[in-house]
Amino acid sequence: MWVTLSLESRFESIEIAERALVDLLAGHGIEDDEQYWILTALREAIANAIRHGHHEQPEERVRVDFRVSGIQLSIMVLDQGDGFDSSVIPDPRDAENILKPCGRGIFYMRRFMDDVTFRREPGGGTMVSMSRRLTARAIKE
């Protein structure tokens, strides 16, 4: 079953999404350590939607969907922004980038989830889809 949230574009909204995902993950027996990295990826995706997609305009809604199916966690974050070319995101570890104050969010998302894709939605907006294979021993049947 999908959990769906429609959030105002305020950074405080990230906490709401975090709490909902913690409830879902804890309910499936996912340990704190694994939760932490998943929540980091979620935070980055929503923060990008609020800051870059909606330019912090609170009335613009960020839609967040997530579910656990078997041992697979899926998270989707949809904003109404113009999107960007995810193939040209600079590597923050490169010498010319390492001291830049920004540019690590997508890197963290890709690092802590197994798969991260960005696509323009036909009706407008940008969808970030992330998935991760959960630690099988933690999953409650």
Partner 1 sequence: MKQQIKDVGDVRIISLSGKITIGAGDVVLRELINDSLEAGHTKILLDLGGISAIDSSGIGEMVASYTSAKNRGAQLKLVNLSKKINDILQVTQLITVFDVFDNQEEAVQGF
Is 51 among the residues that bind partner 1 (CB under 8 A)? Answer: yes
Binding mask 77-96 for partner 1 (x = CB under 8 A): ---------------xx---
Burial letters 100-118, b for 16+ CB under 10 A, else e? eeeeebbbbbbebbeebeb
- Name residue 9's amino acid: S
Is 40 among the residues that bind partner 1 (CB under 8 A)? Answer: yes
Is 104 among the residues that bind partner 1 (CB under 8 A)? Answer: yes
Q: What are phi and psi of 11, to 5 degrees?
A: -65, -25
Q: Which of 17, 30, 38, 39 binds partner 1 (CB under 8 A)?
A: 39
How far apart are the C-alpha atoms of 84 and 125, rounded to whole Å?
11
Question: Is residue 59 packed enough to be buried (19+ CB in 10 Å), middle (13-18) or exposed (0-12)?
Answer: exposed
Q: Which of 4, 6, 12, 120 binds partner 1 (CB under 8 A)?
A: 12
Is 105 among the residues that bind partner 1 (CB under 8 A)? Answer: yes
Residues in the chain: 141
Instruction: Provide the token pair at 78.
Output: 């949809």
Is 43 among the residues that bind partner 1 (CB under 8 A)? Answer: yes
Is 19 among the residues that bind partner 1 (CB under 8 A)? Answer: no
Is 52 among the residues that bind partner 1 (CB under 8 A)? Answer: no
Is 52 or 67 the residue whose CB approaches partner 1 more closely? Answer: 52
Q: Which of 44, 54, 64, 76 binds partner 1 (CB under 8 A)?
A: 44
